[in-house]
Amino acid sequence: MSLLSRRKLLTGGLATAAGASGLVAAARIARRYGLIPPDHGGIYAPGETLTYAAQRILTRHSMAREFPRSLISKAPFANGRPIQQENYLRSQAGGFQDWRLQVDGMVARPLSFSLADLRRLSSRSQITHIACEEGWSFIAEWTGVPLSVLLDAAGTRPDAKYVAYYSLEKNASDSIDMADALHPQTLVTYGMNGGDLPVGHGGPLRLRVPRQLGYKSLKYLTRLTVTDDLNKLGRELSDPSPEYAWYAGI
Ligand SMILES: Nc1nc2c(c(=O)[nH]1)N[C@H]1C(S)=C(S)[C@@H](COP(=O)(O)O)O[C@H]1N2
Ligand SMILES: [Mo]
């Protein structure tokens, strides 16, 4: 079956099922095609599944909107208090020379990048909107290395399904599926609005996932782990907070 007709069948099937016999049937179709998000909560909470499955089918190739320079926000809002962790402040005092981004898990070659290493790789800049689930948002230019470039360098195994990512900040981690990890707009960023990424916005390194809500764009990025099963990575990643949907597509 062609990709297009398969896609038509899937979306048609999901819509029909949702209309005819409720969300539970839609979830059943989603499961058959491997479109269950890791926080699905079983067939009794099929809403998350329907959102994820429908989005993944319809927007697999879609791009987050990019804006002209004239629309960059004059006063971007840095969420939360400045990070005060002792190991962070020490690294900052040394100009982040010792900052490393580790890439491991289901890869042929685990790698470790300094900021200088990352700056030598091919970069991309994009002007996108970042939206917090609490209602505020801003537009900024972000510069960095496409996550796909790092995953290719490490040699991601073909059976990988997720990329988990960790912050230097305690208990801060998250994950995305391969569709978002390999998406051209998903960047490991070290620059914002033409300068270094400010501390308040996650400097020296932050993952930007512009097709999802702000909370998926983790600040103070230190590690990427490729996996086929989030349950292998401990509670923090296998059991995400119920307040924040794992899939936050916009
Ligand atoms: N490490 C870390 N990353 C984080 C957060 C955080 O508290 N710690 N907050 C998230 C949330 S809820 C949002 S909306 C955005 C805010 O990005 P900003 O501070 O650049 O505005 O960062 C996300 N990344
Ligand atoms: Mo947020």
Q: Is the CB of 137 under 6 A from ligand 1?
A: no
Per-residue model confidence as pLDDT tens digits over 80-93: 888 999 999 999 99
Residues 190 and 120 in one domain: yes
Residues 46 and 75 in one domain: no
**Pocket of ligand 1, candidates 215, 222, 223: which has the most ligand atoms within 8 Å of its Cβ, to mutate?**
215
Is residue 171 one of the residues assigned to a domain? yes
Q: CA-CA-CA-CA torsion for 18, 20, 24, 27, nearest 10 degrees? A: -50
pLDDT band at 6 (very low <50, low <70, confident <90, very high): very low
Closest atom of ligand 1 relative to the 79 alpha carbon: 19
Residues 12 and 99 in one domain: no
201: domain CATH number is 3.90.420.10
Domain containing residue 201: 69-237
Residues 86 and 196 in one domain: yes
Residues 25 and 127 in one domain: no
How many Å lie between the centroid of ligand 1 and the Cα of residue 124?
21
Q: Is the CB of 77 under 6 A from ligand 1?
A: yes
- Rounded to the nearest angstrom, the gap between the alpha carbon of residue 227 and the centroid of all alpha carbons in its chain is 14
Is residue 81 one of the residues assigned to a domain? yes
Q: Is the CB of 136 under 6 A from ligand 1?
A: no
Looking at the structure of the chain, the number of domains it has is 2
Per-residue model confidence as pLDDT tens digits over 156-178: 999 999 999 999 999 899 999 99
Residue 250 has pLDDT above 90, yes or no: no
pLDDT band at 4 (very low <50, low <70, confident <90, very high): very low
Residue 139 has pLDDT above 50, yes or no: yes
Q: Which residue minimizes the CA distance to atom 17 of ligand 1?
A: 79
- Report, as an integer, the average pLDDT of 25-32: 69
Residues 181 and 223 in one domain: yes
Which of 115-119, 193-197, 218-222, 235-239 is least confident?
A: 235-239
Please tell me what DSSP assigns to residue 201: G
Residues 94 and 213 in one domain: yes
Whole-prediction pTM value? 0.85
Residues 107 and 203 in one domain: yes
Residues 105 and 150 in one domain: yes
